[in-house]
Amino acid sequence: MNKKEVARILEEIGQILELKGENPFKVRSYYNAARVIMNLDENLNDLVEEDRLQDIKGIGDALSQKIKELVETGKSGYYEKLKCSIPKGLMEMLTIPSLGPRKIKILYDKLNITNIGELEYFCKENRLIALEGFGVKSQRKILEGIQFKKKYEKRHLLPAAEGDAHYIISELENLDGVIRIKLAGSLRRRLETIKDIDVIIAAESGKESLIMEKYCGLKRVEKVVAHGETKSSIVLDSGIASDLRVVSRQEYPYALHYFTGSKAHNIEMRKVAKEFQYKLNEYGLFKGEENIPCNDEEELYNSLGLQFIPPELREAIGEIEAARENNLPSLVELKDIRGVFHIHSNYSDGINSLEEIIIRCQELGYEYVSVCDHSKSANYANGLSEARVLQQHQEIEGLQEKYPGIRILKGIEADILPDGCLDYNDSLLAKFEIVIGSIHSRLKMTEEEALERIVKAMKNPYLTMIGHPTGRLLLAREPYPLDINKFIEAAAKYGKMIELNANPHRLDLDWRGCKYARECGVLVSINPDAHSLEGLSDTRYGVEIARKGWLTPRDIMNTRTKSELMTLLNLE
């Protein structure tokens, strides 16, 4: 190992020790040593060979041993062991500008944040604002730092990919020679995370290369990976990659279909084509040498005896059989949503007041709304004590009189405690009209423990629904190990609803589970889990995932009219 590498590891040891809250003198000795080694005039190898390390000011016996080991073997047992003693994600958090070990230790100790994904989520929930040593400004700086880092991630959440896709489309759609342009790939299928933005253009012949040139020369292009006649690949300044394919008007429906995927769906479609003794690929649908003409994807599906399959459903989970029997579901749309539950106000960790939320929901045309703040055990989120619940109920009653056009339901997001109990006693729970039960703490559970904990909560007669049932944070935190099918079966048994948390970091219940919930007759509630007025628009992502999960308006709780909802919940 050379000077630079040794110095880096000494520095890292210092950081880990600081993260662990070790003696500051010890911490500083490693930082010092790193600096000294880095600035050595002499050759480090010579110093080691001649056993002269400990003569250097600031390097004692223990340190010189470790440096010797590093120089001679390229490794340090001490360092390896130390690295294993903290969550891996903490070191990664050090790569965010404005975050040092001391601050990361606070985040870990106080909020149990162990990686960048969790940190981003907590910032967006404003959990850092009230944290000692942090505040609005540092929370914003950290978020900016995370955005910067995200440039280098491989998969992306829907909102980021969507914003960039919009940029690309708007730059290209009005170009001379562009007949049609559309997104393909996972983004068109509304998958919860996206690797790259696939774009298909039908172009007039002779105009292809100009279109390609414009694409590769877009202002926001950071890197051109490939520049071809019919296909180019770029990386945008956000770090998100994109592929463009330019095809002829005739090829367009087939290319769009092929590049929309999924791969598994395409494979099944080729099998269907074979039954007709056709051949299907990205260039056409062929009977022998002859192409069967299709103007659009709908005609392509129809030519194979199938109903048009919406892109969201193309995941090879039964859509082709259903389309053959003309039995595809009539998918829910955003306009079907008549009200929302699970919004956080400034009583807990949201930004806005009850009244601001109610006014906005009325503007959105909702018939009902339920603010569901955090419950008392959720100290990290300023959860509501019994007294504050009553205070909030009083305010709601006043607001209900002031805003008779929208029904305000008294709601709560009650923590499901480790033993499966909800976070308040029955007499208080009885005062709520909506009770969402969510797991927020003690996420380390076995599959049996997780199911048992949630089922116990579902047995509580006051519980309306289970919130974000797996606790996952996309690209950041794995779900706790919940057997989703058993969970859904239990919800059916106890007559409980399941939340589809529409926050694009969660999208939990997953769409794969939505389909099974529908089959079991369990109602899904599309909840924004908003912490600000802007957050209300996340409902849209929930609707998209519900569509991907085969849900129709009737499968969703908050498409009910106000009076239907009152009946469903046994309310006035």
Contact footprint for Ca ion (CB under 5 A): 185-186, 196, 198
Stretch that binds ligand DGT, among 12-20, 217-225, 256-264, 486-494 (CB under 6 A): 256-264
Does residue number 263 form part of the binding site for ligand DGT (CB under 6 A)? yes
Binder of ligand DGT out of 118, 120, 198, 349 (CB under 6 A): 198
Residue 507 zone, left/alpha/beta (φ > 0; ψ -120 to 50; rest): left
Does residue number 281 form part of the binding site for ligand DGT (CB under 6 A)? no
CB of residue 160 vs ligand DGT: minimum separation in angstroms?
A: 13
Q: Which is nearer to Ca ion, 200 or 526 (CB)?
A: 200
Peptide bond into 262 cis (omega under 30): yes
Query: Could you say which of ligand DGT, Ca ion, Zn ion, none residue 267 binds, taking C-beta under 5 to 8 angstroms by partner kind?
Result: ligand DGT
Q: How many CA atoms lie within 13 A of 219 on its CB side?
A: 4
Binder of ligand DGT out of 259, 347, 368, 516 (CB under 6 A): 259
CB of residue 263 vs ligand DGT: minimum separation in angstroms?
A: 4
Query: Could you say which of Zn ion, ligand DGT, Ca ion, none residue 259 binds, taking C-beta under 5 to 8 angstroms by partner kind?
Result: ligand DGT
Closest of 524, 568, 530 to residue 547, by C-alpha: 524
CB of residue 284 vs Zn ion: minimum separation in angstroms?
A: 49
Query: Could you say which of Zn ion, ligand DGT, Ca ion, none residue 438 binds, taking C-beta under 5 to 8 angstroms by partner kind?
Result: Zn ion
d(CA 169, CA 167): 6
Q: Which is nearer to ligand DGT, 186 or 539 (CB)?
A: 186
Stretch that binds ligand DGT, among 132-140, 195-203, 226-234, 525-533 (CB under 6 A): 195-203
Extract long-range pairs of 413-416: CB within 8 Å, 24+ residues apart. Answer: 413/342, 413/344, 413/372, 413/373, 413/374, 413/375, 413/437, 413/438, 413/467, 414/375, 414/438, 414/463, 415/374, 415/375, 415/377, 415/378, 415/383, 415/439, 415/440, 415/441, 416/453, 416/454, 416/457
Closest of 311, 331, 323 to residue 257, by C-alpha: 311
Q: Which is nearer to ligand DGT, 200 or 337 (CB)?
A: 200
CB of residue 242 vs Ca ion: minimum separation in angstroms?
A: 9
As to burial, measured by CB atoms within 10 angstroms (0-12 exposed, 13-18 middle, 19+ buried), residue 355 is middle
Q: Where are the beta strands (DSSP E) in 306-381?
A: 339-343, 368-374
Q: Which is nearer to Ca ion, 155 or 180 (CB)?
A: 155
CB of residue 240 vs Ca ion: minimum separation in angstroms?
A: 10
Which residues bind to Zn ion, rule: CB under 5 A?
438
What φ, ψ does residue 353 adopt, rounded to 5°? -80, 165
The pair of three-digit structure tokens given for residue 44, joined into one six-digit string: 């480090």
- Neighbouring-strand partners of residue 197: 242
Q: Where are the beta strands (DSSP E) in 445-547?
A: 465-466, 497-501, 524-527
Binders in 173-192 for ligand DGT, by CB under 6 A: 185-186, 191
The pair of three-digit structure tokens given for residue 396, joined into one six-digit string: 């709601």
Q: Which is nearer to ligand DGT, 141 or 180 (CB)?
A: 180
Residue nearest to Ca ion (CB): 185
Query: Could you say which of Zn ion, ligand DGT, Ca ion, none residue 261 binds, taking C-beta under 5 to 8 angstroms by partner kind?
Result: ligand DGT
